[in-house]
Structure 1
Amino acid sequence: MSDAQHVRHLRHVLVLPDRDAAEELIEELAERFGLAEEPQLVRDALAGEDDAEDAQWLVVVEDPDAAYDPARLDGLAAEYEGWREAE
């Protein structure tokens, strides 16, 4: 098997405090990283909470070639008061 067949498909999950921050982050990701596909935006309601204000927003970035530097993603998420979930 070649090295290319051993590469694991990565998925980066960036957690943001609100939808506006998540949408701005998606735009910034496209500018800085030139993403092959648009990240997925997902609302993640906190356990037991019904209020929309008590939700986090997840930006899911597919990284099939492991091309995106996790440290750069961490820094970018932090600029929007968020973080990257470690897999």
Structure 2
Amino acid sequence: MSDVRHVLVLPDRDAAQEVARALGERFGVAEEPQLVRDALAGEDDAEDAQWLVVLRDEEERLDPAELDALAGQWEGWREEP
């Protein structure tokens, strides 16, 4: 079993929550993605934080290009491993 993880970077918490919901609807992701606040270096203001949506894909069934396109709908992107 592999430990493939995808990390989607979103501009705010609302976008991250919408993407997490869309993952279940569009891709049938059963496991709840993890939402993580990622403060930019040297920034204390919550307004300057990005949000990460982290999901495991042990079966490697999710297409990275489709995940990137999904994140792009909310002005985000998929981090390359």
Structure 2 length as normaliser, TM-score? 0.96
- Counterpart for residue 9 of structure 2: 15
Q: Supply the distance in 2 between the matched residues of 1:14 and 1:23 (Cα, whole angstroms).
A: 11
Structure 1 gaps, min length 5: 1-6
Q: Equivalent residue for 1:42?
A: 36
Q: Does 1:54 align with 2:43?
A: no
Matched, 1:85 2:55: no
Alignment partner of 2:57 out of 51, 63, 67: 63
Aligned residues: CA RMSD: 0.9
Structure showing greater radius of gyration is: 1
* Identity between Structure 1 and Structure 2 (%): 69
Whole-Å Cα distance in 2 between the matches of residues 37 and 25 of structure 1? Answer: 14
**Runs of 5+ consecutive residues of structure 2 not aligned to the other structure:** none
1:31 and 2:25 are equivalent in the alignment? yes
User: After TM superposition, which residue ranges in structure 1, 4 or more long, deviate above 6 angstroms?
Assistant: none
Question: Does the CA-based 8 Å contact 1:46-1:54 persist in structure 2?
Answer: yes
| SS of equivalent to 1:48 | coil
Paired positions, count: 81
Whole-angstrom distance in 1 between the partners of 2:20 and 2:80: 19
| Contact kept? 1:9, 1:66, Cα under 8 Å | no
Question: What TM-score, normalized to structure 1?
Answer: 0.90
